[in-house]
Amino acid sequence: MAPQELVEAQDRLAAFAAEVFAPLGRSDQRRWGERYVRGLLGAGRRKSMEPMAARLGVDRQGLQQFLADAPWSHQMVLAELAWRMEPVIRPAAWVIDDVSFPKDGHASPGVAAQYCGALGKTANCQVAPSVHLVTDAASCPVNWRLFLPEQWDVTAASAEDADQVAKRRRRAHIPDEVWHVAKWQLAVDMVDELRCWGLDPPLIVADEGYGQDGAFRLALEERGIDYVVGVRSDTAVLPETATRTAPAWSGTGRPPVPRYRQAPTSVRTLVQDAGHGALHRVTWRQGSKGPLRSRFAALRVRPAGVRLRRAHPGEDLPVCWLLAEWPAGEKEPTKYWLSTLPADTPLRHLVRSAKLRWRVEHDYRELKTALGLGHFEGRTWNGFHRHLTLASVAQAFCTLERLSPKAAATA
- Per-residue model confidence (pLDDT) at position 410: 47
Average pLDDT for 375-397: 95
CA distances for 50 relative to 16, 58, 64, 162, 382, angstroms = 25, 10, 9, 35, 19
Tens of pLDDT along 341-381?
A: 999 999 999 999 999 999 999 999 999 999 999 999 889 99
Closest CA to 125 of 106, 145, 144: 106
Residue 145 pLDDT greater than 90, yes or no: yes
* Alpha carbons 96 and 182: distance in angstroms, whole number: 14
Tens of pLDDT along 238-265?
A: 999 998 887 778 777 788 777 888 889 9
**Dihedral of alpha carbons 323, 130, 306, 254, sign:** negative
Query: Where does the pLDDT of residue 289 fall: very low under 50, low under 70, confident under 90, or very high at 90 and above?
Result: confident
- Per-residue model confidence (pLDDT) at position 160: 67
- Per-residue model confidence (pLDDT) at position 409: 46
Closest CA to 379 of 117, 61, 64, 129: 64
Average pLDDT for 325-329: 95
What phi and psi, each to the nearest 5 degrees, are found at residue 69? Answer: -120, -25
* Alpha carbons 378 and 167: distance in angstroms, whole number: 17
Query: Where does the pLDDT of residue 404 fall: very low under 50, low under 70, confident under 90, or very high at 90 and above?
Result: confident
* Alpha carbons 380 and 281: distance in angstroms, whole number: 50
Phi-psi region of 338 (alpha: psi -120 to 50; beta: other; left: phi over 0): beta
Tens of pLDDT along 51-74?
A: 999 999 999 999 999 999 999 999
Average pLDDT for 194-202: 97
Alpha-carbon Rg for the chain in angstroms? 24
Residue 161 pLDDT greater than 90, yes or no: no
- Per-residue model confidence (pLDDT) at position 313: 79
Q: What integer best gives the mean pLDDT of the chain? A: 92
Residue 393 pLDDT greater than 70, yes or no: yes
- Per-residue model confidence (pLDDT) at position 352: 97
* Alpha carbons 16 and 134: distance in angstroms, whole number: 20
* Alpha carbons 371 and 319: distance in angstroms, whole number: 43
Residue 184 pLDDT greater than 90, yes or no: yes
